[in-house]
Amino acid sequence: MNRSLLVAKAFAQTSRSSLLRPLLSTRTVHSTRTVLKESPEPELDWEEFFQLRKQRRLWERVGALPCAMLGLSGGAAIFASLPVDPQQMFMGLDPMLLFGGSSLFCGALGFAIGPSVGRKCYRIMSTQTAKMLDHKEAEFFKHIKANRSDPSLSSASNPLPDFYGEKISSLHSYRKWLRKQREHERKGTFNLGSKRK
């Protein structure tokens, strides 16, 4: 019994030291496995980016219509099934008017949610393209942030043109946006009487 206890202790010490040996060792072990390099993702050029962006916006707009109809019909079905007493006012309003307005509100809510549903459908239908589009869009917004005019130079006679670059749909419109930003900056510094660096 004493001998089996000694064997168990010796085994525990050797297994513990063998587990710690790779952590304490300074030698490096080279693997013989071959590592496959991943092929880089194809990059979008700017013209393709703007075309895909237009396509995604079309999906968003198209997604708004069925969601609006679904919201309107769902709201109408729910409010039409409620019991209505035409002689009794509800919160000081005619119940039919209130239920009709609530149905329209459900339709407007569906119309507001629709672009998100359309974007999600676009991402599901073209996963790889959506990833490349997101990557290029992040780069695009870095350009927008770096080149837009200072909003503090805005005034009633000099409003800031397209702060987020949402109206940019091609390289030509991007150059036009850049000219408008420089013009806004020039007018703003002229009105302040000082020149920005």
What DSSP letter does each residue of 143-167 carry, written as one string?
Answer: HHHHHSPPGGG--SSSPPP-TT-TT
Write down the pLDDT at residue 3.
59
Q: What is residue 49's DSSP assignment? A: H
Write down the pLDDT at residue 178.
93
Please give the average per-residue pLDDT across 38-50, as a whole number: 77
User: Measured between alpha carbons, how far is residue 123 from residues 46, 75, 86, 152 in Å?
Assistant: 20, 28, 48, 37
Residues with Cβ within 8 Å of residue 52, at least 6 apart in sequence: 44, 129, 132, 133
Given a contact cutoff of 8 angstroms between Cβ atoms, the answer to whether 58 and 119 are in contact is: no
The yes-or-no verdict on residue 158 having pLDDT over 70 is yes
Write down the pLDDT at residue 11.
53
Greater confidence, 28 or 87? 87
pLDDT in tens, 6-17: 555 555 555 444
DSSP class per residue in 168-179: --SHHHHHHHHH
Write down the pLDDT at residue 90.
74
The yes-or-no verdict on residue 36 having pLDDT over 70 is no
Write down the pLDDT at residue 4.
59
